[in-house]
Amino acid sequence: MVHFGTWVALLVYFRDDLLLMLRGIGAGDEKGRRLLWSVIIANAATVAVALPLKRFVEHALSAPIFVALFWVLTALLLFASEAWATHRERTNPSLASAGDAPDEPFPYWCALIVGLAQGLAAFPVCQGRGRR
């Protein structure tokens, strides 16, 4: 029942994007079609990374050294992304928040990177769900 509630919440929250993608299919809306392709590319990249790693992830979680290694890796990634965002804000204040970004199409290569990163999140430690 919890998953159903989450699914409904996602449908409500992303209803405008979902409708835009449907218009991309039916009415040929270019922005909707680009968004749909971005979602497809990101999901394909996620599957391509996560499925082959499934057994390795299960094995790695049984070894405390791997859990510790991935906690450190996650901390370094968080630190680096924060440093990059701070540098970006200083060098280009107009890009300080995503809400201020211009209304341009999401590049497909960005969708690919998002999907690859999400595939690496197959490691539960990267999601904050390490062995407890």
Report how far residue 106's alpha carbon sits from residue 122's, in angstroms, rounded to the nearest whole number.
24
Question: How much is the mean pLDDT over the chain?
Answer: 82
Over residues 51-82, the pLDDT tens digits come to 888 888 777 777 888 878 878 888 898 899 89
Q: Which helix (H) or strand (E) holds 128?
A: none
* 37 or 69, higher pLDDT: 37
Around Cβ 35, how many Cβ atoms within 10 Å? 20
Which pLDDT value is given to residue 131?
Answer: 46
Which pLDDT value is given to residue 94?
Answer: 67
Helix intervals (H) in the chain: 2-13, 15-26, 30-60, 64-91, 108-120
